[in-house]
């Protein structure tokens, strides 16, 4: 498999174009497209999710499916304007399996090698946006930025040091985890509380 060198640029438009040619792992073979981040280049708040979902892959935009709609609601309740947030994913291609005897594409968690293969794209985004607060949504995002030993369950909702960066990190669950929760009301309230911690950490 031929790899693609990630351009040494912080021009998001150039990175967004270049990522469509990425062959650094095999996920591009089944996905419709790479889905790059969106939002203001110098946003003080950046959020990193896991991978694009089915709707994101089809439409080419981040957080436009069910998890994105829940995130929109939670941002409002946390007093955060989504238009001012830079949103992206740790992995840029949709990983899925097909439903047995059906056409639905069911999300699969990226492997460690797939996370690592996409890491440089995320690093370029971080260098371009330079957020004051980085919110990690779920284990894949946390693993990409903080390493595989980091546990969201142990440190969610805390303001954490961000090594080698002029900013802080807040880790929380992915909004899809709220959708899957047995007690969705309680899970949603905890998620919003974590986002409020991030909002209070903004300069």
pLDDT at 15 over 80: yes
Tell me the average pLDDT across 148-167: 95
Dihedral of CA atoms 142, 182, 187, 67 in degrees, nearest 10, equals: 60
Residue pLDDT, tens place only, 170-190 = 999 999 999 999 999 999 999
What pLDDT does 32 receive? 95
Question: What is d(CA 103, CA 82) in angstroms, rounded to the nearest whole number?
Answer: 32
Domain ranges of the chain: 12-200
Contact status, residue 68 vs residue 175, Cβ threshold 8 Å: yes
CA angle, residues 111, 47, 84, in degrees to nearest 5: 155
- Answer yes or no: CATH 3.40.470.10 is held by domain 12-200: yes
Measured from the Cβ of residue 59, the count of other Cβ atoms closer than 10 Å reads 14
């Amino acid at each position: 498999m031929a790899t693609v060198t990630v351009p040494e640029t912080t021009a998001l438009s150039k990175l967004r174009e270049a990522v469509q040619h990425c062959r650094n792992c095999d996920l591009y073979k089944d996905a419709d497209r790479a889905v790059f981040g969106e939002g203001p280049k110098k946003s003080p708040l950046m959020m990193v999710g896991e991978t694009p979902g089915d709707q994101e892959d089809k439409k080419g935009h981040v957080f436009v499916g069910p998890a994105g709609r829940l995130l929109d609601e939670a941002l409002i309740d946390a007093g955060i304007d989504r238009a001012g947030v830079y949103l992206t994913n740790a992995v840029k291609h949709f990983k899925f399996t097909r439903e047995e005897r059906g056409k639905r594409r069911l999300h699969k968690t990226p492997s460690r090698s797939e996370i690592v293969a996409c890491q440089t794209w995320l690093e370029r985004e971080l260098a371009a946006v330079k957020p004051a607060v980085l919110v990690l949504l779920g284990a894949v995002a946390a693993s990409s930025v903080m390493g595989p030993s980091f546990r969201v369950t142990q440190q969610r909702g805390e303001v954490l040091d961000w090594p080698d960066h002029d900013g802080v990190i807040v880790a929380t669950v992915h909004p899809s985890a709220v959708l899957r929760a047995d007690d969705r009301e309680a899970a949603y309230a905890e998620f919003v509380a974590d986002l409020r911690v991030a909002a209070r950490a903004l300069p």
